[in-house]
Amino acid sequence: MSREVWKAGNMLYPLPAVMVSCQRPEEKPNIITVAWTGTICSSPAMVSISVRPERYSYDIIRETGEFVINLTTEKLARATDFCGVRSGRDVDKFAQMHLTAGKSAYVTAPLIEESPVNIECRVDKVLELGSHHMFVAEVLGVDVDEAFLDEKGKFQLNKAGLMVYSHGEYFGLGKKIGKFGYSVRKKK
């Protein structure tokens, strides 16, 4: 198999395509789509999002010190894309995409009610890294859509129709191929 060597770049795909909601006091809420996001610590629960400083949401998050990460689904694909290519300076994204700004439990930024999971975050620090600045944040609470709880109360996130972003395109998640630890489990 032959290989080509390319210049340094980001090719770590697929990534979650999330909608991040934020709001200044007394202003309309806003949404930015982010693919540069991830878990960075489990205890305490911490996440990161990376945002270009020229984006409208950047100053809102920097000033308020909070945001909500809203997981996206195939049903939210159009809204996810729209919120990534339109600026909140020019358009009310909640209104345009017919999304519902719900009340968060721990932050004043709204959550997106149509999302199966909303992760309420408080900024711990901002790392100015280059084209993007990384907001390192503590997770204060997680809101989940009860429609995905089974009869025993177990959250069935994989039934939500989650989507991912890969090299400029959106994809629905495919079939299950294993479970954590399946490669070393003893067969019955």
Domain-embedded: residue 22: yes
Q: Are 55 and 32 in contact (CB under 8 A)?
A: yes
43-95 per-position pLDDT tens digit? 999 999 999 999 999 999 999 999 999 999 999 999 999 999 999 999 999 99
- Taking residues 17-26, report their average pLDDT: 97
Residue 36 lies in a domain: yes
* Residue 185 domain flag: no
Residue 33 domain-assigned? yes
In whole angstroms, give the CA distance from residue 149 to residue 95.
Answer: 29
Report the number of distinct structural domains present in the chain. Answer: 1
116 secondary structure, DSSP code: S
Helix (H) or strand (E) segment spanning residue 59: helix 56-64
User: Which amino acid type is present at position 63?
Assistant: E
User: How much is the average pLDDT of 163-171?
Assistant: 94
Q: Is residue 119 assigned to a domain?
A: yes
pTM of structure? 0.94
Which residues span the domain enclosing 67? 15-172
**Average pLDDT in the 34-41 region?**
96
- Other CB atoms within a 10 A radius of the CB of residue 135 amount to 26
102 in a structural domain: yes
45 part of a folded domain: yes
CATH of the domain at 140: 2.30.110.10
Calpha distance 66→48 (Å, rounded):
12
Cβ-based neighbour number of residue 117 at 10 Å: 20
Q: Is the pLDDT of residue 188 over 80?
A: no
Residue 1 lies inside a defined structural domain of this protein: no
